[in-house]
A and B are shown apart, each in its own frame.
Chain A
Amino acid sequence: MNNPDKRTLLKGALITAASLLGAAAWAADDPIRIGMTVSSAGNYALASQSGVRGVEIWVDEVNAAGGLDVNGEKRMVELIKRDDRSDKQMVARVYEDLIVNEDVDLLMAPFGSTLSAAAATTAERLDKFLVIWSAASDALYAQGFKNIVSATQMPVSRMPLASMDLAADLGVKSVAIISVDEPFPAGLAEGARALAEERGIEVVMQETYPKGAKDFSLLLQKAKASGAELFYPTSYEGDLISMVRQMRQMNVSFPMTYMVYASTPQFQDIGDDADYIFSHTNFHPTINWEITAGLDREEFLEAYERLFPDVSYEPDFQTILAYGAGVVAGEIIQNAESLEAADLKKTAMELSDKLTVLAGPYAIDETGKQLKMPFPVVQLQSGGGMETVWPPEVAVAEPIYPIPSWDER
C-alpha cells in the first residue's frame, strides 16, 4: 500500500478546508425565503396592500440589523411577493408554486379568512409553516390544520373580549345585542353573547335585522324596553351612524354603548353625537404596549414614512397586524431548531404568552388560534378626543360611565 506523500496530504487538506469555508460562506449568504401573496386587484386589494407594507417594514428592520440569528448564524430575510388578485383559486396555485418551485422556508398568509383558508390548505398539504395576520374566521382554526399560527389576528368570537371585560369591570349587569344578518357581524354578536354570559352579564335581547334595513328606531326602543345597561350593536359603520343619530332623535340612551366601528374617522365625522361611545382599535397614539420584540409605535411610523413616502394612506390596523406577524415569525425562526413546519409550530407554542409586539401580547392555543392581541377599548370623550380606557396595561383615561343621557349633555 502506497503512503500518500506530504504534498498530496497538504493538497487534500487545502481542498477540504476550502470546501468547508465555501459551505459556511454559502450558508451565511443564503437568505431565509418568505413567500406571500398580495392582492393587486379585487375586493381585498386595499387591505392586502396595507398589510404587506407591514411585512416589508419588518423585513427592512431585520435586514438592517444584519439578519435573523438562526442557530448561531446571521441570515438575511428575502420576501417573495406574488399576486393573488383576491382570488382563492389563484392563492392555492401560487402558494403551491412558492413552496415547490421557489423553495420558500416559511409562508405569510394572504389577506382575510377566505384567502388564508386556501393558503392554509396548500401549506398543510405540502407541510410548510404559515403565519396568519388577518384571518378572523373561527372556522379556519377548527379544521385541524397543524401548520398554521395566527400571530396577531384574534378570531371573531374573541374580538368582544376587551369590551366585555370592561363592561364586567364597570359592573354592567345586562346587554342588548343586535346585528345585521351577515357572517362577520353575526359572529361578533355570538362571541359577545358567549363572553357576556361567561362574565355573568345577562343577555336581555339578541336580535338580527336584514342587510339594507334603514330605520332602527323601533329596534332601539325594544333594546331600551329590555332594560339593557349595555347596548352592543355589531353592525357596519353606516348602520351604526344611523343608530346613533336615531338614538338622539328618539331620546334613547344606555349607560354604556359599544360600537365596533365608532373609532373610524368616518364615524367621528358625525360630530357630537359620537361622544361617549365605546369602541376598539389597535393603533392609536394612546395605545403603547410594553413591547418585547420589534419596533415601537414611533419607530414604526418613522420606518413607514421612510419606506413608503409616496403612499397616500397612513398605516392602519392591517399594517400593524401584518408587521406584528412578521415580528412574531422572526422570533419563531430564531428560536426554532429547524425551519421544518413541526419545529416552527412547536416553537410558536413555546413562545405563547412570552412576546408582546406592536399589535399587543401574543398567545395561541394548539389550533393556532390567537388568544390575546386584544383590540384595546377606546372612548370618544367629549373635548378630549379618543382615549384608551381598557385594558389597564394601556389605558390612559378613566372610562366615562354611565354615559350621560342626551338631555344631560
Chain B
Amino acid sequence: MNELLLQGLVNGIILGTIYALIGLSLNVIFGVLRVVNFAHGEFIILGAYGAYFAQKLLGLSPFLAMPLIFLAFAAMGYGLYFVLIKRLAKSDDPEHASLLVMFGVAIALGALMLIFFEADSRSLSYTLDPPFFMFGSVIVPTAKLVALGIIVVITAVLAFFLYRTLPGKALRAIIMNRDAVQIVGVNLERMSALTFGLGLGLAGITGVLVALIFPAFSPFIGQDYTLIGFIVIVLGGLGHPVGAVVGGIIFGLTEQTALVYTSGTTATLLGFLLLIGVILVRPTGLFGREALK
C-alpha cells in the first residue's frame, strides 16, 4: 500500500499541475475581464483536436504543434474578444451575462465539433522512448514527465510576463483596480483583448497536454475540464494566478491519494468535499482577497 501511496502522491502532483494550468488560463480571463468562461473546456478540447489534425494532415508531432496552436488560439481569442466579450460591458450585469454567453458558446462549440469531428473518441498517436521512468518503486510515464516540464516552463514564462514585464504588470493592475488603470493611461480594450487571446492560447496548449496525458478525447468532454477549472480557481481564489496553481495541486493530491484507499467515485467525492470545506471556511479561496471582489 505504501508503494501505491507514493505513486498516488507523485500522480497527484503531476495531475495537479495540469489541473493548475486549466485553472490558470481560466483565472487570467476571469481576473482581468470578469468573464466566466464556461466554454473553457470546449476550447481545451478544440486544442486537442488541433494537435490531432496537425498530426494527421501535416504530420506534425504534438510537441511541435503546441506553439502553433498557441498562436492560432491566441489570435482567435483576440478576435473573439471584439465579437463577444466587448459587448458584454454594455450589460447591466456583465459577469452573469458572460456566464450565459459563454455557456451558449460552450454548447455551440461542442455541437460544431460534433458535426466536424464526429462523436468518436480520438487519441494522439505518439511514442516516447523510453515510455516510462522508474524512481525506486514509483513509475512515471515519460509523457507525464514531459508534460510536467512543459507546464513548469509555461507557468514560469507566464509568471515572468505577469510580474516582470510592463504589459503583465498592467494586466495585474487591471485585476486589482480596473478603473484606476485607465486613469494612468493603460489601453484597457487592447489589454483585455490580449488577455482573452492569452487565455485561449493557454487553453489551446492545455488541450495538447491533456491529450498527451489523458489519451482519449471527444466533443462531449469539454464540460469535464471546465468543471475541473472552476474547482481549482474556487479552491485557490478567483482571479488569482498563484491561487490556481496551488488549488490545482491540492485538488490533484486529494483526489489521487484518496484513490489509493477508496474507489474512484469516493475519491472524486472527497475532492468535492474539500472544495465545500474551503468555501465554508474561506469563501474567497485560499489565495483570494476580499478586495478582489
What's the tally of chain A residues with a CB closer than 8 Å to chain B? 32
A202 vs B105: C-alpha distance in the bound complex, in angstroms? Answer: 49
Known contacts A213-B268, A215-B213, A218-B256; A249/B121 CB under 8 A: no
Q: In the complex, are the beta carbons of A212 and B224 less than 8 A apart?
A: yes
Q: How far is the CB of B262 from chain A (nearest CB, A)?
A: 9
Which A-chain residue is minimally distant from B125 (CB atoms)? A271
Cα A239 to Cα B139 in complex, Å, equals 21
B214 and A242 contacting across the interface, CB-CB below 8 Å = yes
Chain B residues with Cβ below 8 Å from A16 are none
**Interface of chain B, helix or strand or loop or mixed?**
helix
In the complex, the answer to whether A251 meets B132 with C-beta atoms within 8 Å is yes
Contacts of A222 in B (CB 8 A): 4, 259-260
Contact of A251 among B7, B139, B214 (CB under 8 A): B139
Find out whether the CB atom of A249 lies under 8 angstroms from the CB atom of B256.
Answer: no
With A215-B11, A221-B4: A207-B224 Cβ-Cβ less than 8 Å:
no
Known contacts A210-B265, A218-B260, A266-B120; A249/B131 CB under 8 A = yes
Partner of A207, one of B7, B213, B216, B264: B264
Q: Which of A225, A241, A271 has the most chain B CB atoms closer than 10 A to its own CB?
A: A241
Given contacts A209-B264, A238-B217, contact A217 B121 (CB under 8 A): no
Within 8 A of B (CB), among A211-244: 212-215, 217-219, 221-222, 225, 237-242
Distance to closest chain B CB from A210 (angstroms): 5
If A212-B227, A249-B131 touch, whether A238 touches B221 (CB-CB below 8 Å) is: yes
Contact (Cβ within 8 A) B224 A214: yes
Interface size class of B (residues with CB under 8 A): 20 to 34
Contact check, B121 vs A238: say whether CB atoms are below 8 A apart: yes
CA distance A237 to B7 in the complex (A): 26
Q: Are A245 and B265 in contact (CB under 8 A)?
A: no
- Measured CB to CB, the closest approach of chain A to B218, in angstroms, equals 5
A181 within 8 A of B: yes
Provide a sorted-by-A list of 27 A–B residue pairs whose CB atoms are within 8 angstroms.
Answer: A207-B264, A208-B263, A208-B264, A208-B265, A210-B265, A212-B221, A212-B227, A213-B264, A214-B213, A214-B214, A215-B15, A215-B214, A217-B11, A218-B4, A218-B8, A218-B256, A219-B259, A225-B3, A238-B221, A242-B123, A248-B131, A249-B141, A250-B139, A251-B139, A269-B123, A271-B125, A406-B131
